[in-house]
């Protein structure tokens, strides 16, 4: 009896007229994929006019980058980060090794591995991992900035400056790449004199 009453009520209800929404000037929101949203945010970051806005955009970009892989990658990233917080370097390495094995095309896995290598002063692996990261995703300003740092350690100042310039092309207000590039330019200008 209740089912019949419900059916009768549904049949008596007029269908929704959604054309009124578009006629009133309201547009349906277009949903963007992660990659589309990332491109949009990276474009905004490249033209940000103050450090606060740039930092907010950079935070959103980092979040979107982390969403590009699946839940297993998220778990391995989280385990590695937690291990690093308590100075359990072996667990962090294992987590990141597994991540690179499972998701070799995921730049984030290479970048976090490079960060750990830099902490361990393993500059050779850091350079290798960062080169892999920027090969996979040339928009990774964080990888370019880290690559600049690693190249400085390798005494490749000109190459470091190029890496910092690339980071700044993508994120002009990058808090580390800008000062590092300025310092290297001063050092090289001082040598030329």
- Report whether pLDDT(163) > 90: yes
Task: Name the residue with tokens 């450090």.
Answer: 51
> Looking at residue 13, what is its pLDDT?
56
122-159: pLDDT as tens digits: 999 999 999 999 999 999 999 999 999 999 998 999 99
- Report whether pLDDT(191) > 80: no
Domain boundaries, the chain: 48-188
Which has more confidence, 4 or 34? Answer: 34
26-70: pLDDT as tens digits: 444 568 898 999 999 999 999 999 999 999 999 999 999 998 888
Which has more confidence, 2 or 97? Answer: 97
State both tokens at 138: 């040339």
> Looking at residue 83, what is its pLDDT?
97
Superfamily of domain 48-188: Tetratricopeptide repeat domain (1.25.40.10)
State both tokens at 26: 């309201």
- For the residues of the chain, what is the DSSP string, one character each? -HHHHHHHHHHHSPPP-THHHHHTT--PPPPPPHHHHHHHHHHHHHT--SHHHHHHHHHHHHHHHHTTS-HHHHHHHHHHHHHHHTT-HHHHHHHHHHHHHH-TT-HHHHHHHHHHHHHTT-HHHHHHHHHHHHHH-TT-HHHHHHHHHHHHHTT-HHHHHHHHHHHHHH-TT-TTHHHHHHHHHHHHHHHH-
- pTM (predicted TM-score): 0.81
Query: What is the Cα–Cα distance from 142 to 130, expressed in whole angstroms?
Result: 10
> Looking at residue 161, what is its pLDDT?
97
Q: What band does 5 get if pLDDT is binned at 50, 70 and 90? A: low
- Report the half-sphere exposure of 42 (CA within 13 A, side-chain side): 19
């Amino acid at each position: 009896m209740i089912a019949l009453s419900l059916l009768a009520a549904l049949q008596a209800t007029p269908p929704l007229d959604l054309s009124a929404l578009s006629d009133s000037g309201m547009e349906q929101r277009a949903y963007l994929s992660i990659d589309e949203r990332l491109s949009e945010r990276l474009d905004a970051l490249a033209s940000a006019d103050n450090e606060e806005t740039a930092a907010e955009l950079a935070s959103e970009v980092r979040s979107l980058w982390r969403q590009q892989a699946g839940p297993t990658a998220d778990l391995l990233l989280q385990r590695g980060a937690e291990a690093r917080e308590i100075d359990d370097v072996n667990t962090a390495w294992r987590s990141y090794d597994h991540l690179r094995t499972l998701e070799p095309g995921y730049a984030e896995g290479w970048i976090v591995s490079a960060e750990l290598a830099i902490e361990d002063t393993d500059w050779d692996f850091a350079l290798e991992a960062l080169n892999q990261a920027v090969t996979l995703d040339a928009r990774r300003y964080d990888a370019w900035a880290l690559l600049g740092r690693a190249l400085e350690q390798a005494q490749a100042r000109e190459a470091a400056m190029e890496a910092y310039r690339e980071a700044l092309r993508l994120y002009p207000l990058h808090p580390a790449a800008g000062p590092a590039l300025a310092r290297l330019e001063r050092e090289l200008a001082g040598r030329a004199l």
